[in-house]
Amino acid sequence: MSPASRPPRVAVVGSGVIGRSWTAVFARAGCATSVFDADERQLERALAWLREHSLSGSEHVRACSTLEQAVDGAAYVQECGPEQLPLKQSLFAELDRLAPGSAVLASSTSAFDMRDISEATRHSERCVVAHPVNPPHIIPVVEVLGTARTSPDTIARACELLSAVGQTPVVLKKHVQGFVLNRLQFALLREAVHLLKAGVADAESIDAVVRDGLGLRWALLGPFGVADTNKDDGVRAYIRGYESWITDLMDQLGPTPTFEPELTERIAEALDRARGDVSRAQVRAWRDRMVLEIRRLKAENPLGKAEEREP
Chain centroid to Cα 190, Å, comes to: 20
Beta strands in the chain (DSSP E): 10-13, 33-36, 61-64, 76-79, 104-107, 127-132, 141-145, 168-171
120 vs 172, which CB is nearer to a copy of itself? Answer: 172
H helical segments located in 108-202: 114-117, 152-164, 181-197
Site residues for a copy of itself, 91-150, by CB under 8 A, read 111, 133-135, 138-141, 143
**217 lies in the site for a copy of itself, by CB under 8 A:** yes
* Three-state secondary-structure class, residue 233: coil
Asked whether 288 and 135 are in contact (CB, 8 A), the reply is yes
Site residues for a copy of itself, 250-269, by CB under 8 A, read 250-253, 256-259, 264-265, 267-268
The stretch near a copy of itself (CB under 8 A) out of 35-43, 62-70, 95-103, 298-306 is 298-306
**87 lies in the site for a copy of itself, by CB under 8 A:** no
**2 lies in the site for a copy of itself, by CB under 8 A:** no
Site string for a copy of itself, 177-216 (x = CB under 8 A): xxxxxxxxxxxxxxxx--x--xxxxxx-xxxxxxxxxxxx
Site residues for a copy of itself, 9-28, by CB under 8 A, read none
Min. distance of Cβ 18 from a copy of itself in angstroms? 12
The stretch near a copy of itself (CB under 8 A) out of 40-48, 88-96, 118-126, 174-182 is 174-182
Site for a copy of itself (CB under 8 A): how many residues?
A: 125
Q: Under 8 Å CB-to-CB from 224, ≥6 apart: which residues?
A: 235
Q: Quick one: which of 39, 44, 248, 273 contacts a copy of itself (CB under 8 A)?
A: 248
Min. distance of Cβ 159 from a copy of itself in angstroms? 11
Min. distance of Cβ 262 from a copy of itself in angstroms? 12
- Ramachandran bin of 178, using left for φ above 0, alpha for ψ from -120 to 50, beta for the remaining angles: left
Min. distance of Cβ 65 from a copy of itself in angstroms? 27
How far apart are alpha carbons 174 and 167 in whole angstroms?
21
* Three-state secondary-structure class, residue 64: strand
68 vs 303, which CB is nearer to a copy of itself? Answer: 303
Min. distance of Cβ 115 from a copy of itself in angstroms? 15
Count Cβ atoms within 10 A of the Cβ of residue 101 and give its class: 0-12 exposed, 13-18 middle, 19 or more buried. exposed
Asked whether 112 and 88 are in contact (CB, 8 A), the reply is yes
* Three-state secondary-structure class, residue 144: strand
Min. distance of Cβ 121 from a copy of itself in angstroms? 24
**247 lies in the site for a copy of itself, by CB under 8 A:** yes
100 vs 234, which CB is nearer to a copy of itself? Answer: 234
**166 lies in the site for a copy of itself, by CB under 8 A:** no
* Three-state secondary-structure class, residue 77: strand
Q: Under 8 Å CB-to-CB from 274, ≥6 apart: which residues?
A: 204, 207
**164 lies in the site for a copy of itself, by CB under 8 A:** no
